[in-house]
C-alpha cells in the first residue's frame, strides 16, 4: 500500500494524473470520432454510389485492421510526413509530434468508424413516416435533419454509443506504446522501477474497471433521462 | 515493397497460429463459463459473471502484461512446473488471448442459450428426453447456430487483438511490420502492407462465417 501513497515515495499521485490523462485522451478521441462519424454517416447513407464506396471503405478498413497498426502508422508516419513537409520549407531538424495529439487522433479515427456504424443504424431505424411527414409539411431538408432526425438519432444511439465509449476507453491503453503517460504507461514505468509488475498491473486493471464501471453508471442515467416520454 | 513481403508473410503465419490456438482454447473456456452463467446457484453464477466482467472491462494489453510480467513475480509459480509455460512470451500471449476471448464468447453463448425458446425444452421434457441429452442435442446446437454471426465478429476482434503480441517481443505480423519500419525507416510501406494482409485475413474469415451461416444458420 505504501507504493500507492501520494508524494515523492509513492506512485499514487502519478497514477492519479495518469488516470486523468486516460480520461482526457478518451474524451478527445470520442469527440474526434464524432466529427469523423458526422462526415462519414451521410456518405454511407448517400444514394450516390461513389460517396457510398468512400464511406464503406472507411468503416471496413478501420474496423478490419488492428488498432495498433493505425497508431503506429500515425505515430511513425505522421512524424515522417511532418518532417517531409518541413524539409520543403527548409527545416531539416527532427520534429516530434505531440503524443497526445497523435494518440487522440488515432483512437478517434478508430472510434469514428464504430460511431459511424452506430449512427447509420440509428438513422435507418427511424420510422420512414417521419421523413415523409416532414416532407409533406414542407419542412426544408436541413431543418428536417437538425430538428427531427438528429434528436431521434442521438436518443436511439445512446446504448450503442456506450459500447463505443468502452471500446475507446480500452483502446487508449494502446497509446502507451508511443510514450504518452496514461495509466498503462505509468504502470509500466512504476513496475519497472519497483520491480513489482504484478502489483502495478493489477492496479491498472482496477483503475480501468473503475472507469468502465463509473462511465456505465453515468451513461445509464443519460439513457433514462433521454428516453423520458417513450 | 516486394522485398519485405516474405518477412511479413512469415509473421502472418505466427498471427494465424496465435489466432487459431487462442480461439480454440477460448471456445472451450467460453463454453464452460456460459454454462456456469446459466447455472441457478448464485455463487457459481456470480463467479462466472465476475470473470467475464473483469476480462471485458479491462484492456487486453493490461491482461497481457499481467500474465507476461506479473505472473513471473510470484515465487511459487516460478518454482513450479508452470514456469516452463509462462516464461515463454508465445504461451503467455495465448493464455491472455484465450482468457479474453473466452469471456466474450461466454457472453455470446449465454445470450444464445437464454434466447432459446422455452417451447423446445418443454417439448423435449414432455417427450421424456433426459436433461443431458436435451442439453447436448437441442440446446447446444441451437445456441451455436444462433451465435454464429456474433462469434464471427469475435474472431475478427481477436485477429486484431493478436497484434498486441508484438509488444511482448513476438514476431507476428505486427512485430515484423515494426521490424521492417525500424530497419528501413519506411513506416508507410511496412504498416500499409501489413494492414492489407490483415484486411485480407479479415475478409477470408468474414466470408467463411457468412458461408457457415448460410449453410447451418438458424432461421426462426
**B198 to A61: CB separation less than 8 angstroms, yes or no:** no
Cβ(A140)–Cβ(A147) under 8 Å? Answer: no
Residue-level pLDDT at B3: 77
What are the counts of helices (DSSP H) followed by strands (DSSP E) for chain A? Answer: 10, 0
Ranges of residues in chain A with a pLDDT under 50 are: none
Question: Is pLDDT of B7 > 90?
Answer: no
Considering only CB atoms, which chain A residues are within 8 Å of B61? 173-174, 176, 184
**A72 to B161: CB separation less than 8 angstroms, yes or no:** no
Grid cell at residue B55: 476480462
Cβ atoms < 10 Å from Cβ of A10:
15
Burial-class residue B97 by CB neighbours within 10 Å (0-12, 13-18, 19+).
buried
- State which residues form the domain around B190: 5-216
CATH code, B83? 1.10.3720.10
Chain A residues with at least one Cβ partner in B under 8 Å: 60-61, 63-69, 72-73, 76-77, 80, 166, 170-171, 173-174, 176-177, 184, 187-188, 191, 196-199, 201-202, 204-205, 208-209, 212-213
Nearest Cα to B51, choosing from A113, A214, A147, A209?
A209
Considering only CB atoms, which chain A residues are within 8 Å of B160? 65-67
B46-60 confidence digits (pLDDT tens)? 999 999 999 999 999
Average pLDDT, chain B: 90
* Domain A19-127+159-226: assigned CATH number: 1.10.3720.10
Compute chain A's Rg from CA coordinates: 21
pTM to 2 decimal places: 0.89
Residue-level pLDDT at A81: 80
Residue-level pLDDT at A227: 78
B114-170 confidence digits (pLDDT tens)? 888 889 889 999 999 998 899 888 888 888 888 888 999 999 999 999 999 999 989
B26-76 confidence digits (pLDDT tens)? 999 999 999 999 888 999 999 999 999 999 999 999 999 999 998 888 878
Cβ(B71)–Cβ(A198) under 8 Å? Answer: yes
**What distance lies between CA A74 and its chain's CA centroid?**
15
Burial-class residue A3 by CB neighbours within 10 Å (0-12, 13-18, 19+).
middle
Residue-level pLDDT at B219: 57
Domains of chain B: total: 1
Amino acid at each position: 500500500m505504501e507504493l500507492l501513497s501520494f508524494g515523492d515515495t509513492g506512485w499514487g499521485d502519478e497514477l492519479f494524473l495518469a488516470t486523468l490523462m486516460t480520461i482526457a485522451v478518451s474524451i478527445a478521441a470520442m469527440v474526434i470520432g464524432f466529427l469523423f462519424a458526422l462526415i462519414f454517416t451521410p456518405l454511407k447513407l448517400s444514394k450516390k454510389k461513389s460517396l457510398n464506396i468512400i464511406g464503406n471503405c472507411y468503416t471496413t478498413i478501420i474496423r478490419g485492421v488492428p488498432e495498433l497498426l493505425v497508431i503506429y502508422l500515425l505515430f511513425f508516419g505522421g512524424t515522417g510526413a511532418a518532417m517531409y513537409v518541413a524539409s520543403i520549407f527548409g527545416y531539416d531538424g527532427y520534429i516530434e509530434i505531440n503524443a497526445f495529439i497523435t494518440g487522440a487522433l488515432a483512437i478517434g479515427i478508430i472510434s469514428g468508424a464504430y460511431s459511424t456504424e452506430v449512427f447509420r443504424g440509428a438513422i435507418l431505424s427511424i420510422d420512414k413516416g417521419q421523413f415523409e411527414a416532414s416532407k409533406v409539411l414542407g419542412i426544408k431538408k436541413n431543418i428536417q435533419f437538425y430538428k427531427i432526425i438528429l434528436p431521434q438519432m442521438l436518443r436511439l444511439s445512446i446504448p450503442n454509443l456506450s459500447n463505443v465509449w468502452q471500446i475507446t476507453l480500452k483502446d487508449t491503453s494502446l497509446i502507451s506504446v508511443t510514450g504518452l503517460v496514461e495509466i498503462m504507461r505509468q504502470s509500466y514505468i512504476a513496475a519497472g522501477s519497483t520491480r513489482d509488475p504484478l502489483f502495478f498491473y493489477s492496479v491498472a486493471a482496477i483503475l480501468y474497471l473503475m472507469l468502465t464501471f463509473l462511465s456505465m453508471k453515468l451513461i445509464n442515467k443519460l439513457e433514462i433521462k433521454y428516453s423520458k416520454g417513450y | 515493397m516486394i522485398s519485405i513481403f516474405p518477412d511479413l508473410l512469415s509473421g502472418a503465419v505466427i498471427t494465424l497460429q496465435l489466432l487459431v490456438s487462442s480461439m480454440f482454447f477460448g471456445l472451450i473456456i467460453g463454453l464452460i463459463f456460459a454454462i456456469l452463467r446459466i447455472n441457478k446457484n448464485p455463487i457459481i453464477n456470480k463467479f462466472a459473471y465476475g470473470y467475464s466482467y473483469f476480462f471485458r472491462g479491462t484492456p487486453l494489453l493490461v491482461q497481457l502484461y499481467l500474465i507476461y510480467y506479473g505472473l513471473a513475480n510470484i515465487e511459487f509459480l516460478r518454482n513450479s512446473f508452470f514456469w516452463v509455460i509462462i516464461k515463454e512470451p508465445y504461451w503467455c500471449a495465448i493464455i491472455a488471448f484465450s482468457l479474453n476471448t473466452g469471456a466474450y464468447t461466454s457472453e455470446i453463448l449465454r445470450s444464445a442459450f437464454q434466447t432459446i425458446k422455452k417451447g423446445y425444452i418443454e417439448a423435449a421434457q414432455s417427450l421424456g428426453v433426459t436433461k443431458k441429452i436435451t442439453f447436448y442435442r437441442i440446446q447446444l446446437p441451437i445456441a451455436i447456430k444462433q451465435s454464429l454471426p456474433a462469434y464471427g465478429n469475435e474472431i475478427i476482434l481477436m485477429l486484431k487483438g493478436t497484434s498486441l503480441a508484438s509488444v511482448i517481443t513476438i514476431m507476428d505480423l505486427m512485430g515484423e511490420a515494426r521490424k521492417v519500419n525500424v530497419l528501413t525507416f519506411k513506416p508507410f510501406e511496412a504498416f500499409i502492407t501489413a494492414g492489407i494482409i490483415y484486411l485480407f485475413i479479415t475478409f477470408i474469415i468474414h466470408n467463411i462465417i457468412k458461408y457457415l451461416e448460410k449453410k447451418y444458420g438458424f432461421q426462426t
